[in-house]
Amino acid sequence: MFEGPLDLLLYLVKKDHLNIYDIPIAKVTRQYLEYIDLMKLLDLNIAGEFLVMAATLMQIKSKMLLPAEELVEEEQEDPRAELVKRLLEYEKFKQIAEQLREKELNQQDVFKRPKTESPAPDIKEEGKKEVYFEASIFDLISAFSRAVKDIPKEVFYEVIKDQFTVEQKVHEILHLLLVEQEVRLSALFSTVKSKMEIIVVFLAVLELAKMKEIIARQDAAFEEITISRNKENIIPYERRDQADPA
């Protein structure tokens, strides 16, 4: 489920509506390091390239803090120039990849018959097609970060005897989605009683998304995240142990 470090940088730029040609490097570096800390807290596997990018951002930040040298022959290059170039190129290829992905999905439903005209598309049916944004890993981490900040600090100092497991929370979320068609991620977090339980709930959501049991979605980019059952998943999670005795 992990996107790369350039995905995270693009996410931070777009989330705060920053000018990609004039990135506030101190702010972005601080936010980037906060996301790295959250990934470590969640015990997620962080690829080495994330740490390399963190070092690159800090290097750019340090260069921008130095006094500008007086160059007569040529203007000093912006330390951010190379990073901006990489981001723009990456964004371009990402958009192309998404367009190709959409074409591939559209072609999956096309079946050609020789010498037979295709029926006219049903406009009413097409109008019913649901449009939504699928939440990225960074959207989910942002929601997790807000949940941790929203819980009163005194809750973290309470002695909690209950033990929580990811498997337990997976089953609880699936049972909840049998009753509710969709659930807001913030609503899941609002019922927890400790920091550890927040982490376990979050990891359970990631596990369900990884298994394609649920879809994490947004009505628009960076808005409230809701989760719902993935209707395309044929084998229910509750029956998988029975289906695979090994």
Residue 119 lies in a domain: no
Do residue 9 and residue 99 come from a single domain?
A: yes
Establish if 116 belongs to a structural domain. Answer: no
State mean pLDDT over 47-53.
Answer: 86
User: In this structure, is residue 92 part of a structural domain?
Assistant: yes
76: which DSSP letter? Answer: P
Residue 183's DSSP bridge partners are: 227
For the segment 118-165, what is each residue's pLDDT rounded down to a tens digit? 555 454 444 455 556 788 888 889 988 888 887 665 555 554 556 789
Q: Does the residue 125 lie in any domain?
A: no
Cβ–Cβ under 8 Å, residues 151 and 192 = yes
**pLDDT for residue 195:** 83
List, for residues 205-231, the tens digit of each pLDDT value. Answer: 999 998 999 999 988 878 889 999 988
**Residue 62 falls inside a structural domain:** yes
User: Domain span at residue 190?
Assistant: 133-238
Q: In this structure, are 145 and 218 located in the same domain?
A: yes
Return the pLDDT at 219. Answer: 84
- pLDDT over 60 at 74, yes or no: no
Distance, in Å, from the CA atom of 189 to the CA atom of 148, rounded to the nearest integer, reads 9
Whether 246 maps to a domain, the answer reads: no
CA distance 225 to 142: 10
One-letter amino acid at 213 equals E
Mean pLDDT of the chain: 79
pLDDT in the model for residue 152: 64
- Measured distance CA(47)–CA(49) in Å, rounded: 5
Residue 117 lies in a domain: no
CATH code of the domain in which 208 resides:
1.10.10.580
**Cβ-contact 38, 116 below 8 angstroms:** no
Does residue 137 sit in helix, strand or coil?
A: helix
Decide if 54 is inside a domain: yes
State whether 147 and 92 are in the same domain. Answer: no
Residue 103 and residue 147 in one domain:
no
What pLDDT does residue 31 have?
93
pLDDT of 2 strictly over 70? no
At residue 85, the pLDDT reads 93
**Same structural domain for residues 184 and 219?**
yes
Share of the chain above pLDDT 70, in %: 74
pLDDT confidence tier of residue 246, bands split at 50, 70 and 90 = very low
What was the pLDDT predicted at 65? Answer: 81
Question: Do 98 and 139 belong to one domain?
Answer: no
- Number of domains forming the structure of the chain: 2
pLDDT per residue over 183-212, tens digit each? 999 999 988 888 888 899 999 999 999 899
Locate 89 and state its tokens: 């190129």
